[in-house]
Amino acid sequence: MNWLSTAPNKTEWIEVKLSSNSQVEPVNRPTASSEIKVVQAGVTGFSAAETSLSGLTADDSGRVLEATSDVALVIDERGLIQDLAFGTEEMSAEGFEGWLGRPWIDTVTVESRPKIEAMLADAGVGRPPRWRQVNHPTPAGVDVPVMYSAVPCGRTGRIIAVGRDLRGIAQLQQRLVDAQQAIEQDYWRLRHAETRYRLLFEMASEALLIIDASNRKIVEVNPAAAALLGEPARRLTGQSFPRALDPEGSRIVGDLLDAVKVAGRADAVQVRQADRPGTLSVSASVFQQDGTALFLVRLSLQRGAGEAPAQDAAKLRLLQVIESSPDAMVVTDLDGKVILANRSFLDLSQVSHLEQARGQSLDRWFGRPGVDLNVLLANLRRHGSVKLFATTLRGEFGAASEVEISAVAVTDPDTPCHGFVIRNVGPRLGRDTRTEGHLPRSVQQLTELVGRVSLKELVREATDVIERLCIEAALEVTGNNRASAAEMLGLSRQSLYVKLRRYGLGESGDAQEE
């Protein structure tokens, strides 16, 4: 073995040999002033290619090119492909064997032609090779990206082009872009939801405060609460709660918050303000946000028997905003029957007048009758609110819309009710619900309820969804023939008719009996 030895003023070769005990023994020792230094070769090319590669035959060179590249081309001086080899089955399966005898420039797309011309020109004058990406069209209509480098082949005038298939990298890049877009959509969805609920919080006529459960400090306060307490919202933020109450009222409210923190809910209490006439009704509930327990405190001023309810300009503006809102808003009783609805809900449900909808159950317009409303009402009774519940809303004339529903339970002891905000998200999702199955969406909705409802309720709702979907599938397969569908499902006709009426699947005369 020969190592290159360099000294300060001279360079000499030193011959060394390896002994059996793996020690290096120099045969020609350098002078005392010499220093041995190993020079690493091969950074930019082979240091002794004529010697180390002299034994390679043409077959050996071809196998090396085939093994180290996805595609290798031999180009003559006219730019024609004389020979080619593929290193992967993916490239050979694209039908590129027909390139033999064709100009290399004719095998690429139009925008890649200048790159082929530049590579041939550089190789023809001996310039250092550069990697360039080109695209090859395929009969399937999908371009195959390949990274090429072209080098001259001796003095024959031929050029060897070696290429690397970039489809794997392109797929990874596309997956990265898709993942980033999904993250962006989720981010903006959360931002829109936060903006929507903050707007409702600010515009609500009811006095609302957000209290930190650990130190009883006011975190947020809406304008109605600031007006009721007689202080600006900016000054109230960070102050201790309760405020503006007499000592007895402060003690009662403190006991209320303690009970709510333990039990989750407590009955509203009546307290007096310190420096204002009238009685305040205080109710509270607790919720978790980012691992922190917070109180939602509601205040309302109890008026005397002779006082008329104040209908100020702010309330009128709020009612006008709700009526003109692009989102459908509905107020129902505790059973889900419509009491009030704005114009957007009437348009979405294809109802001409409010009187046609008043007294009707919301279940009439939901995509899964007997399922969606039951889930919403169960969660309202348990948690007091529901956010972004995804389902389908069907109009009176069959028009279906993908919607997200947010709901809240109003626990007024005199007139308890439920409020629903229904947003049409079909244009945002950009998909046709008529061609998309309901089962994945239903399963996703049910799994999102884990932890919020009991397993028994989840199993019951899942059973209803699956049963309804199986009946729909059987009717579709049998051309809406109920007798055949009942036989396919292993049911009697009477049992099938009962289930059809339960789920609202068609009228009695809509299907064939035989």
Contact 390/404 with Cβ under 8 angstroms? yes
What residue type is 201 in one-letter code?
A: F
* CA-to-CA dists, residue 394 to 339, 362, 401, 470, angstroms: 19, 11, 6, 20
- Give CA angle at 388 (385, 391), nearest 5°: 115
Class in CATH terms, 314-435:
alpha beta
d(CA 373, CA 186): 26
Give 79-95 pLDDT, tens digit per residue: 898 888 888 777 777 77
Whole-number percent of the chain with pLDDT over 70: 77
Give 35-47 pLDDT, tens digit per residue: 333 333 333 566 6
Give 180-235 pLDDT, tens digit per residue: 999 998 888 888 888 888 888 888 888 888 999 888 899 888 888 888 888 888 88
| CATH 3.30.450.20 residue window(s) in the chain | 58-165, 206-302, 314-435
Q: Residue 242, preceding bond cis, omega within 30 degrees?
A: yes
Return mean pLDDT, the chain.
Answer: 77
Whole-number percent of the chain with pLDDT over 90: 6
Q: Which range among 56-60, 278-282, 420-424 shows the weakest confidence by mean pLDDT?
A: 56-60
Give 151-194 pLDDT, tens digit per residue: 888 777 888 899 998 888 888 888 999 999 999 988 888 888 88
CATH entry, 58-165, from 3.30.450.20, 3.40.50.1980, 1.10.287.610, 1.10.3720.10 = 3.30.450.20
Q: Which range among 100-109, 123-132, 271-280 shows the weakest confidence by mean pLDDT?
A: 271-280
| CATH 1.10.10.60 residue window(s) in the chain | 454-514
Contact 16/26 with Cβ under 8 angstroms? yes
**Reported pTM:** 0.33
- Say how many residues make up the chain: 514
Which residue intervals of 14-112 are DSSP H helices? 49-52, 58-68, 89-92
pLDDT of 7 reads 37
d(CA 343, CA 18): 94
CATH entry, 454-514, from 1.10.8.50, 3.40.50.300, 3.30.450.30, 1.10.10.60 = 1.10.10.60
For the segment 274-302, the average pLDDT, to the nearest whole number, is 83
Contact 368/468 with Cβ under 8 angstroms? yes
* Pairing status of strand 328-332 against strand 11-18: unpaired
What is 206-302's CATH topology?
A: Beta-Lactamase (3.30.450)
pLDDT category of residue 9 using cuts at 50, 70 and 90:
very low
3-state secondary structure 97-122: HHHCCCEHHHHCCHHHHHHHHHHHHH
What residue type is 229 in one-letter code?
A: L
